[in-house]
Every structure is written in C-alpha cells, then in structure tokens.
C-alpha cells in the first residue's frame, strides 16, 4: 500500500508533491496563548453533561486540555 501511494505521488509530478509538503507549524501562533482571556463557552464533556467555562473556573483559573479520542 505504501509503495502504491509513493508511486502515485512520484507519477503525479512535483506540483502535487509541493502542495502536499507542509511548512512547520508555528505553535506560538495557534490558538489562545497562556494568559489570554478566552470567550465564554459551553461544551459537552465525556459523560454528556454540559460544562461552561464559568463552571470549571477556580480561584486560580483553569487549564483547558483538548484531546481527540480514538473513536472520532
């Protein structure tokens, strides 16, 4: 399978190969940065319960971690 994909890219030419090449992502420019105030939101947690930003904020703030599950 990998050989077939590599062969297809080789035969497609440099235009397709260049389009598929990705520049490194500047992580300091993606998403809210540490210390940035994010807008109010409500999301559903893993049990189906709604969670708002206000409901998870503690006196020292909150740390949000978004992860993708294996079944997406």
pLDDT tens by residue, 44-65: 988 999 999 999 888 888 887 7
The three-class DSSP label of residue 51 is strand
How far apart are the C-alpha atoms of 14 and 21, rounded to whole Å?
10
Q: What is the pLDDT of residue 52?
A: 93
pLDDT digits (tens, 9 = 90+) for 15-43: 655 666 777 878 777 777 778 888 899 98
Domain assignment present for residue 48? The answer is yes
Domain assignment present for residue 18? The answer is yes
Domain assignment present for residue 16? The answer is yes
Domain assignment present for residue 42? The answer is yes
- Residue range(s) defining the domain that contains residue 10: 2-56
Q: How many domains does the chain have?
A: 1
Q: Are the C-beta atoms of residues 42 and 48 closer than 8 Å to each other?
A: no
> Taking the model in full, what pTM does it have?
0.43
Q: What is the DSSP letter of 22?
A: -
Is residue 67's pLDDT more than 70? yes
């Amino acid at each position: 399978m990998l050989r077939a994909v590599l062969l297809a890219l080789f035969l497609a030419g440099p235009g397709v190969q260049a389009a598929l090449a990705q520049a490194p992502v500047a992580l300091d420019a993606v998403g809210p940065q540490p210390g940035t105030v994010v807008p109010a939101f409500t999301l559903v947690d893993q049990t189906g319960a709604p969670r708002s930003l206000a409901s998870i904020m503690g006196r020292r703030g909150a740390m949000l971690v978004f992860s993708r599950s294996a079944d997406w």
